[in-house]
Amino acid sequence: MTPASEYVIEITYIVAAVLFILALKWLSSPVTARRGVWAGEVGMVLAVAGTLLYHGIVDYKWLAIGLVLGAIIGVPLGNVGMTAVPQRTALSHAFGALCVTLVGTAEFYLRAPNVPPFMMSVLSLEVILGGLTVTGSLMAAGKLQEILPQRPITYKGQNFVNLAMLAIAVAIAVRLVLHPEAMVLYPFMVGIALVFGVMMIVPIGGADMPTVISLLNSYAGLSAAAMGFVLNSKLLIVAGSLDGASGFILSVNMSKAMNRSFTNVLFGAFGQVQTSGTAPAEARPVHSATPEEAAAILSAANKVVIVPGYGMAVAQAQHKVRELYDLLTKKGVDVKFGIHPVAGRMPGHMNVLLAEADIPYDKLMDMDEANPDFPQTDVALVIGANDVTNPAARSDAGSPIYGMPILDVDKARTVMVIKRSMNPGFAGIDNPLYYLDNTLMLFGDAKAFVGSIVRELSGGGGHG
Amino acid sequence: MVKADLINSLYVFILAAFIGFEVIRRVSPLLHTPLMSLTNALDAIAVVGAIILAGEHKSTLATVLGTVAIVAATSNAVGGFIITDRMLKMFKSSRTQKP
C-alpha cells in the first residue's frame, strides 16, 4: 500500500539524521568544523526535498511562499555582525520554538477531540516548552539588543508566581490528557506558557545571559523532539534531542562556571540581585598607570595573558587588541588569551570576537588551560572582565560569588586592569584584585586605552 | 499513535540523546557559539513537519499555521547555516595564518 516515494522519503530522513550527527562530530575541531556545516546543509536540503515528494501534499503554493519568505528573512539574519550574535541566537531560538508551537497547535485542532492520552501528553509538553521558549527568547533577545532594560527586575514572591503559573499550565495539560474534548482549555495552556516565558526572563540580568541562552536552547530542542513524537518523525526526534543535549551540556557548563546549582538554573531562579556583601567602598588606595607605563611594562614582559570580558565586546576593542597582540608578538613577547566560560553574553562569545579580529585560535586558552599559566605570567591584562577575575571567589567565604571558578590573574607578576572607573561590576561585588600591590589600574575606555598602548608601542619601540 | 510507534520513538530519542551527549562533550569551548548556532540550524528540520501540515491542506487553520511555521523554520535554517559558516571561517590557526 505504501507508495514507493514513502521509502525514498524515509531514506532521505535516515541519511539526514546521519549527516546531522556527523555535523556535530566534525564540529569538535576547528579543522573539520566547516565540513560539519556542509554536512548539516546537505542533510537539511535532502530531508526537505524528500518531504516535498510526500504524496499527501496537495498544494505547493503555500510551501513555496513559506520557503522563499523564510530564506529571504534568513539571509540577513545570517549576516549580522559578530557582536550581535548573542541576540541573533536568542531570536533563532524563538523562531525554532515558534515553528514547533504552531505545528503543535495545528495538530491539536486537526485531531481534537480524539487525541489519545499519550499523544496529548507529548503535544502539551511540545507547546508548553515551545511557548515559553518563544517569549522567553524574544525577551532575552530584547535585553541583549538593549531594546528592553537589561537590569534584572525582581519583586517579592516572584518565584512563587512563576511556579504557580507553570503549575496551572501543567494542570490544564493533565486535564486535556484526560478529557481532550475540553478544547476550550487549549488556548489557556498555550497562553500561560507564553506569559511564563516573559516572567521567567524578567529577573535575568546581562551576566546571566550565557546560562539563560543555553537553557532556552535546550528547551527549543526538547520541544522539537516532543514534536517528533507527535508526528512520529524519527528525524525530528534525532535533531531535537541533539539540540536538547547540546543546550543541556552548555547550561550545565555555564552553571558550573557561575557556581550555581543545576536546580537553581532549571527553575529559572537565577538573577537574584546580590546587594548584600558589598561593603560601601571607602576609598581604598589603588595604583594606576598611564598608557606609556603600561606599554613599557608590556614590552619588557616575556609572557602576557590577556583576559577579555564583556567590556571588550561593548567597547568593540577586539581589533585594537589584535594590533596590540601583533606588536607584542613581533617584539618576541608570548601573548595568549585566557577565556572564562561565562565571559560575554553567550557560551564561546569571546572566542568568536577574537577570531573575528584574526587572533589565531591556538592562542585562546580556556580556564583550565590558562590557570596553570598565570604563576609564570609576567603581565595579565584584564580588558572589560570583572567578576570572573575576582579572587574573593577563592578566599572570601562571605562573598556572594564565593566558590565560583575564576581566572587566577592575581597570580601573575603584574596585573593590569582596563576599566572605566572604580564602579563595581554587574553583580555589584567589590573586587579585591584592584587593591593588590601588583595590580595597576588603567582607567579609560577599553578601545581607546588599548589604542594608546598600541600607539606607544609602535611609536616608541620602533620596529624591533 | 500505535504503541509500537511510541516504543520506537522512545528508543530513537534515548539513543540520539546519548549520541548527542557523547559527541557534544567533545566540542571544544572554543567553538561553543558556533555549536549553538549549528544545532539551532539543525533544529529547523522541524520544517518537514510544517511542510506536511501546510501541504496537506486539511484545514485553513492548519495551512496558515503551517505556512508561518515554514517561514520561521526556514529562516532559522538559512540564517543558522550562514552565520555558523561565517564564524568558523574566522577561526584560523597561527600555523596556517600569514604573518
One-letter amino acid identity for A360?
P
User: How high is the ipTM of this complex?
Assistant: 0.94
According to the model, what pLDDT value does residue A54 have? 86
Q: In whole angstroms, what is the distance from residue B51 CA to residue A54 CA?
A: 10
Among candidates A75, A355, A22, A38, which has minimal Cα distance to B87? A355
pLDDT grade for A259, boundaries at 50, 70 and 90: confident
pTM of the model as a whole: 0.90
- The total domain count for chain B is 1
Q: In whole angstroms, what is the distance from residue A287 CA to residue A432 CA?
A: 13
What is the side-by-side order of every strand in the sheet holding A379-383?
A: A364-366, A334-339, A303-308, A379-383, A414-419, A439-443
According to the model, what pLDDT value does residue A460 have? 56
Q: In whole angstroms, what is the distance from residue B50 CA to residue A66 CA?
A: 10
Asked if A77 lies within 8 A of B69 by C-beta distance, the reply is no
Burial B71-90 (b: 16+ CB within 10 A, else e): bbbbbbbbbbbbbbbbbbeb
Q: What is the mean pLDDT of residues A418-447?
A: 82
Q: Which tens digit of pLDDT belongs to each residue from A131-146?
A: 999 999 999 999 999 8
| Residue A339 with chain B: CB contacts under 8 Å | 29
What is the 3-class SS of chain B, one letter each residue?
A: CCHHHHHHHHHHHHHHHHHHHHHHHCCCHHHHHHHHHHHHHHHHHHHHHHHHHHHHCCCHHHHHHHHHHHHHHHHHHHHHHHHHHHHHHHCCCCCCCCC
pLDDT grade for A450, boundaries at 50, 70 and 90: very high
When CB atoms are compared, the residue of A57, A100, A347 closest to B46 is A100
- Whether A86 contacts A144, CB under 8 Å: yes
Q: Which tens digit of pLDDT belongs to each residue from A48-105?
A: 999 998 888 888 999 999 999 999 999 999 999 888 999 999 999 999 999 999 999 9
Question: Which of the residues A208, A387, A408, A410 is marked catalytic?
Answer: A387
Distances (CA, A) of A114 to A101, A105, A107, A121, A303: 19, 14, 11, 13, 70
When CB atoms are compared, the residue of B31, B68, B77 closest to A33 is B31
**Interface residue A157 vs chain B (CB under 8 A):** no
> End-to-end CA distance of chain B, in Å?
61
Burial A249-280 (b: 16+ CB within 10 A, else e): bbbebbbbbbebeeeebeebbbbeeeeebeee
Q: Is A437 a catalytic residue?
A: no
Q: In whole angstroms, what is the distance from residue A19 CA to residue A444 CA?
A: 49
The pLDDT tens digits along chain B (99 residues) read 567 788 889 999 999 999 999 999 989 889 999 999 999 999 999 999 999 999 988 899 999 999 999 999 999 999 999 999 999 999 988 876 544
Q: Which residue of A has its CA nearest to B61?
A: A106
Q: Which tens digit of pLDDT belongs to each residue from A290-313?
A: 999 999 999 999 999 999 998 898
pLDDT grade for A464, boundaries at 50, 70 and 90: very low
Query: Which of B:47-76 have CB within 8 Å of A?
Result: 47-59, 61-63, 65-76
Is residue B99 one of the residues assigned to a domain?
Answer: no
Q: What are phi and psi of A440, to 5 degrees?
A: -115, 130
Mutate to test the interface with B, among A27, A105, A232 (most CBs of B within 10 A): A27
Element (H, E) at A244: helix A234-257
Domain that holds residue B38: 3-90
Chain B nearest C-alpha distance from A246 (Å) = 6
Strand partners, A334: A303
Burial A371-388 (b: 16+ CB within 10 A, else e): bebbeebbbbbbbbbbbb
Is residue B98 one of the residues assigned to a domain?
Answer: no
Is residue B47 one of the residues assigned to a domain?
Answer: yes
Is residue B96 one of the residues assigned to a domain?
Answer: no
Chain A nearest C-alpha distance from B25 (Å) = 7
Q: In whole angstroms, what is the distance from residue A405 CA to residue A338 CA?
A: 13
**Interface residue A102 vs chain B (CB under 8 A):** yes
Write down the mean pLDDT value for chain A.
88
When CB atoms are compared, the residue of B23, B76, B92 closest to A95 is B76
According to the model, what pLDDT value does residue B79 have? 96
Q: In whole angstroms, what is the distance from residue A161 CA to residue A185 CA?
A: 20
Q: Which residue of B has its CA nearest to A252?
A: B25
According to the model, what pLDDT value does residue A35 have? 95
**Interface residue B7 vs chain A (CB under 8 A):** no
Strand partners, B50: none
Is residue B97 one of the residues assigned to a domain?
Answer: no
Asked if A249 lies within 8 A of B25 by C-beta distance, the reply is yes
According to the model, what pLDDT value does residue A421 have? 77
Is residue B55 one of the residues assigned to a domain?
Answer: yes
